[in-house]
Structure 1
């Protein structure tokens, strides 16, 4: 059912090719292919919102499935319950080392943080009134990361070693603002494993860097990403 809706959204854009959708929406072709063929086990909410927004630019809103119904379909595919969406990501398998010790966090922590990220509902508006003339950003307005297209190309071609080099640099070595931009770009494009790797590398940095990355994410209103990063850091 979700795959059919995704195909309808793409059709509403004028039936472009997946490559054209990739260039327009900044969603990797591999993610799009998995969605339209019903092979995406954990579809990203933000990817679906991006597709819906672009489809709405080419057709009447009343002709599209409402976002609320689209989200219900997404949750049916993922199998997440409302209780799971509210639970804390902390787990008893904590590693005794601090985030800056260089010890890789337990796999359970990364998986729990990623589940939290996939299912956390971010506020639709800021908690305080914005100044006149300001425009509130939505989560789909991700800051562009220059390395995204290269990473996506390596992943699509199966060049895992090259992709791993980019992810390690972006997560562990790049400036905190670039690391945050990489997380946002990958998360909004449905590259969940890449986000997990970025989180894993990021929490091995100094406490100051972790806080800077979280601050940059919050400035972009990416609350779920910031929460996943901090929860993972506190669990290490």
Structure 2
């Protein structure tokens, strides 16, 4: 009988070294949490705690096990949620505080290294963002033109608002993240015809929110069938610093939201 909180799965030897290291760090978070008297005592309770804190939707035990064993595609959403839960525990437990394995920026770096792109098209376009001329502000990816984007069958061409995009890989399922907090205000503004207020909310979501929160806002709008709002957020996000655009695109691709990644990348330089 395994001890409470004990991780019985092994890290898959077939995973890449970077993916195994990412899984190892997640395991350390879970062990820190379950060994402290201030945190959940099992992986099941960790999943419940992550869901009740919002931001990542429902996390099943099988999903967590897959992440801890590197048999599931890396998830920055879940990793950051685990990191946040570990910090909550560490705030009350000096011994746990000394055991936090990495800082947030290091966790993001490990995620980037562990992430395996879903398709060559998205991988190529993300790599082009790395060579963006930073002297232009948000810049235009080297060699990335509207014609080149349209030529690729793996990723859809950029869409022009306000035409709603096709369904494709849009995720409208029960395990969507919880509603984006400003969404209620946005819906109220739209119902009242307060379009300028709605624009302010969408602009802030795309240009000022953390990269993970941009993805959260887009996913929440998709779940509410507010596709135009989601696309508007992505259009704003596409004018951010190239490093932010790169991370947002990676988060979208890691969730298999390739159409949204196409909308984001299509907005770069516009």
Tell whether the structures are fold-level matches, with TM greater than 0.5: no
Length-normalised TM-score, structure 2: 0.40
Structure with bigger gyration radius:
2
Length-normalised TM-score, structure 1: 0.44
Higher relative contact order (CA 8 A, sep 6+): 1
